[in-house]
Structure 1
Amino acid sequence: MKMFFDFLPVLLFFIVYKMYDIYTATAVLIAASAIQTVGHRLIKGSFEKTHVITLALVALFGGLTLALQDENFIKWKPTAINWLFAIVFIGSQFIGEKTIIERMMGGNLTLPQLVWTKLNLAWAGFFVFLGAVNIYVAYAFDTDTWVNFKLFGLMGLTLLFIIAQSLYLVPHLKESTADKGDE
């Protein structure tokens, strides 16, 4: 359910774009992101950082898109978000005792520190890659292709990356399980 809730603004953007245009879809994206952020606060009692960051960037880039009637601003939004996440993941290598990926997944997994570091850097690299691919598609193809890529391409690439990450983790999870059995 959480995944659907997180995905809803992008889905609404896609649907409204197909029915109307990029500017109407952008306005819906801004509204849906605001509702998502406030809704999470009302339901869970706290703001989710990714929703707040996404809302800020959607409002900035979407607002510029609407004010200047230039769709290039909204096309930059996924790149800005992905590159910001990459910076956070890289920064977490140097700030605090745990990387961001370990903070997010450490409650569910026990992994050697080197694996956490590699996993964290892999996510950072993946976010850089997604941002670069988004910009390529935004400028090399028409808006229809970019909107389809934003929904299906970015989601598909993320799914493939998660599968690859899972395959990478399997041998390390067996080691962790064996280590726990020795206790």
Structure 2
Amino acid sequence: MKLLLDFLPLLLFFVTFKYADGRQDWAAAFATDHLGFLVSGGKVDAEVAPVLLATLVVMVATVAQVVFLKATRRKVDLMLWISLALVTVMGSATIYFHSETFIKWKPTMLYWAFAIVFLVSRLALGRDLLRKMLGGELQLPDAIWARLNWAWVSFFTALGFANIYVAYHFTTEAWANFKVFGVTGLIVLFVLAQGLYMARHLPETAEPADGAAGPEKHQP
């Protein structure tokens, strides 16, 4: 359920963009008629309309996600609060200026915010965020937790640069595909790589020595 909630805004963004991108004239007319009061100049061009509508959908979906979690008395993670703040600010700028540049920068700012959170947890608070999340389930040496934490800092930093590169060197459609499938694939591969790395450093389970008998074998 949580996984679905986490990916729902992203999926809705992608579906809305793809639908509107295939009907740009309709999307421009719809956005102008219904969102013109939110847009500078009151008119939305056909080229920008798909990403504008997709941005509005992801803003509503993210707000609804937070409201649902609060209404059901579930914890709203720090990452979601950061995402909500960024999508609200950058999304509003995208709609008002009817420019896709702002929403294209949003993922990069989010990834870099994640990197900063991992960095601050290590340097300022003296603890590793990943260890706080998984330390109750996995027992690893301090040095390994530190390496994993730095790996996440590096990964999110690089992911932010990758998003900007795709945004400025490829079409908006290619960027949307990268945002949904490319980034998701990279995260899955990175998590798998970290899982393999952690598995190498997990303490081995102690086994009884050969010939040792259980308590029941010593019964008279």
Deviation at 1:181, TM superposition (A): 6.6
Q: Could you report, residue by residue, the CA deviation over 1:89-135 in whole angstroms, capped at 9, with x for unpaired residues?
A: 11111233421111111121111000000000000100001100000
Deviation at 1:40, TM superposition (A): 1.1
Take 1:53 and 1:149, find their aligned partners in 2: how far apart are those partners? 21
Q: How does 1:79-158 map to 2 (within 5 A)?
A: 79-158=108-187
Q: How does 1:69-84 map to 2 (within 5 A)?
A: 69-84=98-113
Which residue in 1 is equivalent to 2:40? none
Q: Which sections of structure 2, spanning at least 5 residues, go unmatched?
A: 21-49, 209-220
Take 2:77 and 2:195, find their aligned partners in 1: how far apart are those partners? 25
Paired residues of 1:37 and 1:48 also in contact (CA < 8 A):
no
Take 2:109 and 2:167, find their aligned partners in 1: how far apart are those partners? 13
Aligned-residue sequence identity (percent) comes to 44
User: Counting helix residues as a fraction of each chain, which structure ranks higher?
Assistant: 1
After the TM superposition, which of the residue ranges 16-25 and 93-102 deviates more from structure 2? Answer: 93-102
Which residue in 2 is equivalent to 1:7? 7
After the TM superposition, which of the residue ranges 40-49 and 19-28 deviates more from structure 2? Answer: 40-49
Paired residues of 1:38 and 1:47 also in contact (CA < 8 A):
no
TM-score normalized with structure 2 length: 0.78
Q: How does 1:15-26 map to 2 (within 5 A)?
A: 15-20=15-20, 21-26=50-55
Take 1:41 and 1:32, find their aligned partners in 2: how far apart are those partners? 14
Q: Which sections of structure 1, spanning at least 5 residues, go unmatched?
A: none
SS at match of 2:60: helix
Return structure 1 stretches of 4+ with deviation > 3 angstroms: none
C-alpha RMSD over aligned residues: 1.4
TM-score normalized with structure 1 length: 0.93
Q: Could you report, residue by residue, the CA deviation over 1:44-69 in whole angstroms, capped at 9, with x for unpaired residues?
A: 34322221110100001111000111
Deviation at 1:41, TM superposition (A): 1.2
SS at match of 1:93: helix
Take 2:74 and 2:201, find their aligned partners in 1: how far apart are those partners? 35
Structure number, greater radius of gyration: 2
